[in-house]
Structures are given as structure tokens and as C-alpha cells.
């Protein structure tokens, strides 16, 4: 898929201080309030900005949590704001396209709701440096931590989402719904993957890549990580019966190959 054929939502670049490192950490956010500040403070304390450039991609926050002076104080080098349609997958397409255009060799994505422990980011960066194409965080591997995960979500991941993607992709995934991941440049640019398409608007891109990338023979890896939900609060954009049924429908379509690029797109360069 040629660069001029990428389908991207409109977005504005409110902050861009230029590329300093080979890899970047992309943080998708929308109205995260104090959670994004806590995550960025933890990353700064871990000196993550000294190892990879930190870029935020906002889906349209209006809570005042993304003041540029505060972001820069925590080492953030870029802030993109999606103005076109779509939800998470649309945000990610904006950020991934921007990162590839800027010349990054790898991208680590971590949710902006402060559920994931950013201490694992250096291990993701190391795996990308070693040539791994797709790194997935897992709270369920030995050494991982799953704290206060809602019971319904825990069962859905363990009994449905991860097993089905493992079966259909050929890779033994254990934790497939979270967005703490690492992607290599060559995989994202491969025409057989073609992630820059308008079919990816909400949560399709996450399930699709877990299905498609191993089937194409790319190097994949799961790393044990900690994912902690705060007590009495479930910071998630997926809620209720309708939201969970939508995720299930996306999973089934991904595993059926419904999001695979058409043959013409696969063969273009």
C-alpha cells in the first residue's frame, strides 16, 4: 500500500519537538483527567523519555488534562489531536502514520488511563531492537499481575478472546484485549498488513493485528506485565452489554479474515 493511498482521519499537530530516538511511545487519550498526569509522571520518573520519544494522540478531550506546559514538563515531545471521525483505531492510525513519517523504527503503545505499569516499556524497546515485529503485554503470563480485573472481563479474555485469536492466528496469545503493545516499522509498512484503512475505526485494529500478523510469519512475543484496575472504578471506554457485544462481533470478524486487505492492496507497493 503506497503512502499516498493511506486512509487517515484528519488530525492536528499541537506539539512536535522533533524526533530524538529510534522508537517512540504512543499514548492514546480521551478525557483521562488525572490519570494521564499520573502515567506521564511515572514514565518521567522511570526516565522513559530518555529512551524513547513520548507522543500523545488525543481523541478530542475537553477536560483540560492536556495543557502543553504540563505535558512538556513530563518529557512529552508530541501531541496530535484527531479531528476526523472514529474512535481508538482511528486515533492509532493517526499516531502510527505520524510516527512512520517521522522515521521511527518502532512504536510502543500504552493506554493513557494509568492501568499499565510503564516499567515494562524498556523491555518492549529491547524486543523491538532485537527484531521482534509485534510485542504484546500479558497480565496472565508467569510474572504478570492482574489486579482488580472485573470478573466478566477476566473470563471473557481467558475463555473467549485470547483462545480464539490464538487458534486462528497460530500464536499462543494469552492476553489480547489490552493496548500495551509494540510494533516494528517493517510490519506496519507491509502491504499484506495495510493498517491504514478506514475499516479500522473503533477496536478493530487491535483484534486484526493479533490475528493477521502471526499468520504472515512476523516475529511475535508476549511479555509479562502488570495491569491494575483501581478499586471501585473501571477506567475503560468499553462498557455495558452493547459495548461488549460490539467487541465480540469485531473479534469474530477479525478471525474470519473480514479485515484482511483485498488482493489488489496486498500486491501494490
Cα–Cα distance for residue pair 126/132, rounded to 1 Å: 9
pTM beyond 0.85, yes or no: yes
Average pLDDT along the chain, 269 residues, taken 10 residues at a time: 94 98 98 96 98 98 95 98 97 98 98 97 98 98 96 93 98 97 98 98 97 98 96 61 84 98 65
Q: Name beta bridge partners: 184.
A: 106
Task: Write down the pLDDT at residue 244.
Answer: 76
Task: Write down the pLDDT at residue 245.
Answer: 87
Task: Write down the pLDDT at residue 269.
Answer: 45
Q: Determine the Cα angle at 200 with ends 36 and 14, to 5°.
A: 40
Task: Write down the pLDDT at residue 15.
Answer: 98
User: How remote is the C-alpha of 124 from its chain's centroid?
Assistant: 13
Task: Write down the pLDDT at residue 235.
Answer: 53
159 closest CA partner among 256, 88, 251 = 251
* DSSP per-residue codes, 123-182: HHHHHHHTT-SEEEEESSSTT-EEES--HHHHHHIIIIIHHHHHHHHSS--S--S---EE
The CATH fold of domain 3-267:
Spore Coat Polysaccharide Biosynthesis Protein SpsA; Chain A (3.90.550)
* DSSP per-residue codes, the chain: --GGG-----EEEEEE----SSEEEEEEESS-THHHHHHHHHHHHTTGGGTSEEEEEES---SSTT-HHHHHHTTEEEEEEE-SS-SHHHHHHHHHHHHHHTT-SEEEE--TTS-B-GGGHHHHHHHHHTT-SEEEEESSSTT-EEES--HHHHHHIIIIIHHHHHHHHSS--S--S---EEEEHHHHT-TTT---STT-SSSHHHHHHHHHHHHTT--EEEEE-EEEPPTT----S--HHHHHHHHHHHHHHHHTTTTSPPHHHHH--
Task: Write down the pLDDT at residue 242.
Answer: 76
Amino acid at each position: 500500500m503506497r503512502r499516498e493511498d493511506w486512509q487517515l482521519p484528519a488530525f492536528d499537530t499541537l506539539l512536535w519537538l522533533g524526533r530524538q530516538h529510534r522508537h517512540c511511545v504512543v499514548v492514546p487519550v480521551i478525557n483521562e483527567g488525572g490519570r494521564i498526569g499520573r502515567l506521564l509522571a511515572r514514565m518521567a520518573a522511570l526516565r522513559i523519555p530518555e529512551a524513547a520519544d513520548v507522543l500523545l494522540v488525543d481523541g478530542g478531550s475537553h477536560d483540560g488534562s492536556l495543557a502543553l506546559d504540563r505535558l512538556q514538563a513530563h518529557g512529552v515531545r508530541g501531541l496530535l489531536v484527531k479531528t476526523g471521525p472514529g474512535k481508538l483505531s482511528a486515533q492509532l492510525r493517526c499516531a502510527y502514520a505520524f510516527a512512520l513519517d517521522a522515521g521511527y523504527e518502532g512504536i510502543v503503545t500504552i493506554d493513557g488511563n494509568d492501568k499499565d505499569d510503564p516499567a515494562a516499556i524498556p523491555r518492549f524497546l529491547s524486543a523491538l531492537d532485537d527484531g521482534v515485529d509485534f510485542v504484546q503485554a500479558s497480565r496472565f503470563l508467569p510474572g504478570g499481575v492482574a489486579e482488580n480485573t472485573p470478573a466478566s472481563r477476566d473470563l471473557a479474555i481467558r475463555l473467549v478472546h485470547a483462545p480464539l485469536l490464538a487458534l486462528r492466528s497460530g500464536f499462543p496469545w494469552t492476553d489480547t484485549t489490552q493496548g500495551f503493545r509494540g510494533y516494528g516499522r517493517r510490519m506496519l509498512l507491509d502491504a499484506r498488513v495495510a493498517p491504514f484503512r478506514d475499516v479500522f475505526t473503533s477496536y478493530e485494529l487491535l483484534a486484526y493485528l493479533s490475528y493477521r500478523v502471526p499468520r504472515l510469519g512476523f516475529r511475535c512475543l508476549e511479555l509479562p506485565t502488570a495491569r491494575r484496575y483501581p478499586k471501585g472504578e473501571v477506567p475503560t471506554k468499553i462498557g455495558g452489554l452493547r459495548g461488549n457485544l460490539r467487541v465480540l462481533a469485531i473479534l469474530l470478524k477479525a478471525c474470519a479474515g473480514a479485515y484482511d486487505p483485498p488482493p489488489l492492496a496486498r500486491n501494490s507497493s
